[in-house]
Chain A
């Protein structure tokens, strides 16, 4: 089984979705079936994690099958230290998001769970693809289920949000497709082998001229920056987050945003290293703007979900800042921060979702003093609030710390500004916590029901992981050391050659 574990991971959710489509009628059965399928999918990643060779930076569990030989397209998948963590995050959050939707999704349940499973196939596939064509297909195909999830099960302005999300991402990725085709022909002209193989195209990086790299970098970067999203391309995110159902927000924040930064790590840096190094300050400035701007805008939000959405812009700024520091600690911090942000923001969205189910409002002003009636909820929310701020002993602290260490080495001025962003995040998170849970007792919520067992169950794993990373990050960073080291060495060779 281990030899084709990756294909199983990709196609199992799809098979489950088809199974549900054909054999289940009611919402209740399909909901449990989808949950069971996603849990199985999660447990399938455990052997992947344990059998993963941490001392190698090479792609592992690689599978290659000819798909469209006429165009040099293969079905090829593989996993390395960067993607393995993303797979873990994806399958974990998918299972949790599905469990978290049991009561939230009231209409057309069967279709919802089918969409979620198809989405999972796309997400896992994007992180595993080793062929540009396969990558692009999955990258785009993912849009359809997400578009439906926002558009069908979303809030009041769901249509606007769904269309905006779709068009933004689609427009960005079209240019990416042209860049992929350009690389295909360039690689073919250089080696005589026309292939979409990512590794083969990457290996020729030294032959790509600076001008060519700049163009390809621009096309890729635009597509990824929209996905991350980086300022000023972030405007789709608040809309999509606010309107999406809880599960949609969790997946969006937890996994989809990570694809942008993953793409930068996988394509921008290795394939166009000269352009990356040259544009490093530019990306750093954009990241710092995102950190500060996201935090400032989050501060004034009246809607809790929107606040968390803007905080995502801010936190993802740390990720891009770390990646473009182009050193070991920066990139490792960036990846760890991707992981942390997925866990913490995912949890925050789940928590907001479950209280919204009870109160049907997300306005900060409508709440007040609910800590009294829902103590368990308040405690858990506080933990994740602290996690989001980056309190030591919790995951985000390690991530942000590593990013800042890396950033100080690369560009110290900007790192100082980024550090200020951390303070801002404490301001908006604590302030909103105070207003919702303590200040001004709103009698309306005296009889608010606290979290039930199901809700505690799906938050619990996230709680453990947050502390785990905070206490002993090595469990997770051990996976990426070699891959990141390889990447950094790759960048350094180019940087030396440039001088």
Chain B
């Protein structure tokens, strides 16, 4: 093989391995009986672990292939790791929920598995066409996952809603993309940057495309005012899928956006930095304010997911290495705490007249199942960013990056927002610890849910107390 061919192969080999494994999963799905479909998911975990081990990159090495279209480097790897964590936790934690709702199907796992391939392409893309293809792969998988519980009206609604708005945002993005080509004559990040260093940046068409593309991105990360789909979708989707959807696609969009914005749009950073800082402020504040008013925990977490997206945007606009290191670390920590929280919420069944996820269902849980309450409390306080839990480390790093970029006003707003957010996370603990149970609630911690939440909680404590390993991991990998 010629060196170019080897380089091409190296630049996409993790994705290739994932696709092959994905196809194996499809075959395995056919071979397993209906009751044992969770085996498909477990095989998926094994495959991801194998791929992670194979794909572990030599630090600092970059494989740029196919005429500078795809890049496999430690940056892509870190995000792959986050997707892997999200997949593993969702799979482990979701078994009982899927079984109870009669939707324990192999497709759940294969679709999720393939969505990861799409996300990997998004993050490792160095060309807008590759990026777009990856984004659509991910998005279509997500539509399926959102509407996976086809017998539930809410889930179907979530699927349709997500599909329509997602298609709209993709269309907008695609339209903007054509203008990029028109203005710069290329789809490649490096060539776009080169063109922008010239006079392309001044073109009206380019400004137009920037608006449309950034709006498309904002849709994907559910930034306000492009967030309308998020609460309904997260609330309606099956709980494990919702946990996955709040974490992985968001991390992917954020990772891809960072790469696109910092490489392709680097010459015009002044144009988008302010746009995203304002977006970050609106997103955080809006997400938190609305979350304050929610009585449904799942919906509250949906709004909190919006707020967290706003927080991560602060890392993007800080435009220093600390910025993207902190976003990656934040996404990883967020995967643990959010999926952990969704797992535990998913096992609460209210026998009364109200919805399972209403706050009232959580009343008195600390007496009934103390371990569950402790776990949920850890996740809630971690989401609120209270030390010594991992959520604080993520928050701290992002604020540090923002302060380093001398965006003091943004850091202050971010800090105050985290104080605001504290209240609604606390409300869950108030109901669990301070109130007496009103309804008959069933909360059987199944083995799979226990394992997931246990791993997540332990990771949150470990990252919280000994963040050094993880801080160094992202620091060395993301130089």
Q: Do A and B bind each other?
A: yes
Interface residues of A (CB under 8 A from B): 67-71, 136-138, 140-141, 143-144, 147-148, 151-152, 158-159, 162-163, 166-167, 170-171, 174-175, 177-178, 181-182, 184-185
Contact A151 B399 (CB under 8 A): no
A211 CB, nearest partner CB in chain B, Å = 12
In the assembled complex, the Cα of A228 lies from the Cα of B418 at a distance in Å of: 23
Contact A182 B403 (CB under 8 A): yes
A140-B416 contact given A70-B468, A166-B422, A181-B399, CB 8 Å threshold: no
Stretch at the interface among B265-273, B348-356, B385-393: B385-393
Contact A178 B415 (CB under 8 A): yes
Give chain A residues whose Cβ lies under 8 Å from the Cβ of B388: 137, 141
**Number of residues on chain B facing chain A (CB within 8 A):** 30
In the assembled complex, the Cα of A170 lies from the Cα of B466 at a distance in Å of: 23
Contact A181 B422 (CB under 8 A): no
A158-B434 contact given A70-B475, A171-B419, A178-B403, CB 8 Å threshold: yes
A174-B434 contact given A144-B386, A163-B426, A181-B400, CB 8 Å threshold: no
B423 CB, nearest partner CB in chain A, Å = 6
A163-B430 contact given A71-B471, A137-B388, A178-B399, CB 8 Å threshold: yes
B114 on interface, CB distance cutoff 8 Å: no
B72 on interface, CB distance cutoff 8 Å: no
* Nearest B residue (CB) for A122: B388
In the assembled complex, the Cα of A496 lies from the Cα of B430 at a distance in Å of: 53
A175-B415 contact given A159-B434, A181-B399, CB 8 Å threshold: yes
Can you list, as one digit per residue, whether each of B441-479 has a CB less than 8 Å from chain A (1) or not (0)?
A: 000000000000000000000000011100110010000
Can you list, as one digit per residue, whether each of B376-406 has a CB less than 8 Å from chain A (1) or not (0)?
A: 0000010000111000100010011001100
* Nearest B residue (CB) for A173: B419
Q: List 25 A-B contacts (CB under 8 A).
A: A68-B467, A68-B471, A69-B468, A70-B468, A70-B472, A70-B475, A137-B388, A137-B392, A138-B387, A143-B386, A147-B426, A152-B434, A159-B430, A159-B435, A163-B426, A167-B423, A171-B416, A174-B419, A175-B415, A177-B396, A178-B408, A178-B415, A181-B411, A182-B403, A182-B408
Contact A70 B386 (CB under 8 A): no
In the assembled complex, the Cα of A266 lies from the Cα of B422 at a distance in Å of: 28
In the assembled complex, the Cα of A407 lies from the Cα of B345 at a distance in Å of: 57
In the assembled complex, the Cα of A151 lies from the Cα of B366 at a distance in Å of: 13
B364 CB, nearest partner CB in chain A, Å = 12
In the assembled complex, the Cα of A430 lies from the Cα of B430 at a distance in Å of: 39
In the assembled complex, the Cα of A137 lies from the Cα of B390 at a distance in Å of: 11
Number of A-B pairs whose CB atoms are under 8 Å? 79
B412 on interface, CB distance cutoff 8 Å: yes
Contact B422 A140 (CB under 8 A): no
Interface residues of B (CB under 8 A from A): 381, 386-388, 392, 396, 399-400, 403-404, 408, 411-412, 415-416, 418-419, 422-423, 426, 430, 433-435, 466-468, 471-472, 475
Give chain A residues whose Cβ lies under 8 Å from the Cβ of B412: 175, 178
* Nearest B residue (CB) for A142: B387
A166-B426 contact given A178-B412, A178-B415, A182-B403, CB 8 Å threshold: yes
Considering the complex of A and B, which 6 residue pairs feature the smallest CB-CB distances, nearest first? A137-B387, A174-B415, A171-B419, A181-B403, A68-B468, A151-B434
In the assembled complex, the Cα of A170 lies from the Cα of B467 at a distance in Å of: 22
A140-B386 contact given A167-B423, A174-B419, A178-B415, CB 8 Å threshold: yes
Give chain A residues whose Cβ lies under 8 Å from the Cβ of B392: 137, 140
Give chain B residues whose Cβ lies under 8 Å from the Cβ of A151: 430, 433-434
In the assembled complex, the Cα of A96 lies from the Cα of B422 at a distance in Å of: 32
Tell me whether chain B's interface is mostly helix, strand or loop, or mixed.
helix
* Nearest B residue (CB) for A158: B434
Q: Among A69, A138, A171, A184, which residue has the most Cβ atoms of chain B within 10 A?
A: A171
Contact A185 B404 (CB under 8 A): yes
Give chain B residues whose Cβ lies under 8 Å from the Cβ of A143: 386
Q: Among B418, B422, B423, B434, which residue has the most Cβ atoms of chain A within 10 A?
A: B434
Contact B381 A144 (CB under 8 A): yes
Known contacts A151-B430, A152-B434, A163-B430; 18 additional CB pairs below 8 A are A67-B468, A70-B472, A71-B400, A137-B392, A140-B387, A147-B426, A159-B430, A159-B434, A162-B434, A166-B422, A167-B422, A175-B412, A175-B415, A175-B416, A177-B396, A178-B403, A178-B408, A185-B403
Give chain B residues whose Cβ lies under 8 Å from the Cβ of A136: 387
In the assembled complex, the Cα of A495 lies from the Cα of B172 at a distance in Å of: 62
In the assembled complex, the Cα of A440 lies from the Cα of B434 at a distance in Å of: 39
Give chain A residues whose Cβ lies under 8 Å from the Cβ of B433: 148, 151-152
Contact B387 A170 (CB under 8 A): no
B403 CB, nearest partner CB in chain A, Å = 5
A27 CB, nearest partner CB in chain B, Å = 14
B368 CB, nearest partner CB in chain A, Å = 13
A170-B419 contact given A159-B430, A178-B411, CB 8 Å threshold: yes
A219 CB, nearest partner CB in chain B, Å = 9
Give chain B residues whose Cβ lies under 8 Å from the Cβ of A162: 430, 434
Give chain B residues whose Cβ lies under 8 Å from the Cβ of A177: 396, 399, 415
In the assembled complex, the Cα of A357 lies from the Cα of B466 at a distance in Å of: 43
Give chain B residues whose Cβ lies under 8 Å from the Cβ of A138: 387
In the assembled complex, the Cα of A137 lies from the Cα of B389 at a distance in Å of: 9
Give chain B residues whose Cβ lies under 8 Å from the Cβ of A182: 403, 408
Give chain A residues whose Cβ lies under 8 Å from the Cβ of B411: 178, 181
Give chain A residues whose Cβ lies under 8 Å from the Cβ of B435: 159
* Nearest B residue (CB) for A184: B400
Contact A141 B468 (CB under 8 A): no
Give chain A residues whose Cβ lies under 8 Å from the Cβ of B434: 151-152, 158-159, 162
Give chain B residues whose Cβ lies under 8 Å from the Cβ of A70: 468, 471-472, 475
* Nearest A residue (CB) for B325: A70
Give chain B residues whose Cβ lies under 8 Å from the Cβ of A174: 415-416, 418-419
In the assembled complex, the Cα of A167 lies from the Cα of B404 at a distance in Å of: 27
Give chain B residues whose Cβ lies under 8 Å from the Cβ of A137: 387-388, 392
Give chain B residues whose Cβ lies under 8 Å from the Cβ of A170: 386, 419, 422
In the assembled complex, the Cα of A70 lies from the Cα of B478 at a distance in Å of: 13
B310 CB, nearest partner CB in chain A, Å = 16
Give chain B residues whose Cβ lies under 8 Å from the Cβ of A181: 396, 399-400, 403, 411
In the assembled complex, the Cα of A338 lies from the Cα of B20 at a distance in Å of: 69
In the assembled complex, the Cα of A147 lies from the Cα of B423 at a distance in Å of: 12
* Nearest A residue (CB) for B384: A170
In the assembled complex, the Cα of A174 lies from the Cα of B435 at a distance in Å of: 28
B422 CB, nearest partner CB in chain A, Å = 5
B318 CB, nearest partner CB in chain A, Å = 12
* Nearest A residue (CB) for B404: A185
Give chain B residues whose Cβ lies under 8 Å from the Cβ of A140: 386-387, 392
In the assembled complex, the Cα of A150 lies from the Cα of B63 at a distance in Å of: 57
In the assembled complex, the Cα of A162 lies from the Cα of B403 at a distance in Å of: 31
Give chain B residues whose Cβ lies under 8 Å from the Cβ of A166: 422, 426
Contact B419 A167 (CB under 8 A): yes
In the assembled complex, the Cα of A280 lies from the Cα of B403 at a distance in Å of: 29
